[in-house]
Amino acid sequence: GNSVTQMEGPVTLSEEAFLTINCTYTATGYPSLFWYVQYPGEGLQLLLKATKADDKGSNKGFEATYRKETTSFHLEKGSVQVSDSAVYFCALTSSGSARQLTFGSGTQLTVLP
Amino acid sequence: GAVVSQHPSWVICKSGTSVKIECRSLDFQATTMFWYRQFPKQSLMLMATSNEGSKATYEQGVEKDKFLINHASLTLSTLTVTSAHPEDSSFYICSARKGVDTEAFFGQGTRLTVV
């Protein structure tokens, strides 16, 4: 079946530091890959996505590249801000008819001023 | 982007009572809605998938008689937690999408506390 493995948190960084959150996946077929962000007490918001190998998703300074050879989709940001503090989830959709989302365990990021 | 609204945002109920949570797609018709449960500091666990006008498909281990899901229209799905107990306390999140290959949009979640 499908699965997503995320770097365990929590991650604490100083403002303007470089961020990497690792994500690897196992899936049949050709999944689409996503990063979602969850702010305290809120639902999930789509941060970025990539639908095929070598695609790069980007949004709000965050980037992730779909690497089929390493089955990875690591999230990066060059300079984090306090407002980036949240929980980040890596996810994929299967190539089956339901295309349900499978989530990783989430990584708590705290950015200190 | 599309908006999915959940109501209520939080609810406290007594053990043994039932609670209904609504999930609405405000500006699009959702052919499919998903219900998730999230425990503190854990990921989202899919509970069930519902398609408008048909019975929900529950994930293994989810009691369909306890978590009643109704998807009566293309803009509304409800989750009713029947005879709630403290172990049902959790954060419940819905998501909705227009079609199979379209993006799923998430509601803001409902914090249920059973006392």
pLDDT number for residue B86: 96
Q: Which residue has 């498909």 as its token pair?
A: B57
Residue-by-residue DSSP string for A54-97: T-EEEETTEEEE-BTTTTB--EEESS--GGG-EEEEEEEE-SSS
Cross-strand pairs, A37: A45, A88
- B36-94 tens-digit pLDDT: 998 877 788 999 999 888 889 999 999 999 999 998 899 999 999 999 999 999 999 99
Q: What is the helix (H) or strand (E) element at residue A113, kind and residue range?
A: none
pLDDT number for residue B69: 94
Q: Over chain A, what is the mean pLDDT?
A: 92
Q: Which residues of B touch A106 (CB under 8 A)?
A: 41-43
pLDDT number for residue A26: 94
Give the span between the Cα atoms of A90 and A37, in whole angstroms: 9
Give the span between the Cα atoms of B55 and B51, in whole angstroms: 7
- B103-115 tens-digit pLDDT: 889 999 999 999 9
Q: First-to-last CA distance in chain A? A: 41
Taking every pair of Cα atoms in chain B, the longest distance, rounded to a whole number of angstroms, is 40
Question: Quick check: bond before B8 cis, omega within 30?
Answer: yes
Which of A20, A62, A14, A17 is closest to A6 using CA atoms?
A20
* Per-residue pLDDT at B100 exceeds 70: yes
A49: nearest CA partner in chain B:
B103
- B23-34 tens-digit pLDDT: 999 999 998 999
For B24, the token pair is 């609405």
Q: Which residues of B touch A105 (CB under 8 A)?
A: 42-43
- A22-73 tens-digit pLDDT: 999 999 888 999 999 998 878 889 999 999 999 999 999 999 999 999 999 9
* Per-residue pLDDT at A100 exceeds 90: no
Which of residues 29 through 88 in chain A touch B, CB cutoff 8 A? 36, 41-46, 49
Q: Please, which pLDDT band fits residue B1 given cuts at 50, 70 and 90?
A: low
Give the span between the Cα atoms of A43 and A54, in whole angstroms: 29
Which of B96, B64, B62 is closest to B77 using CA atoms?
B96
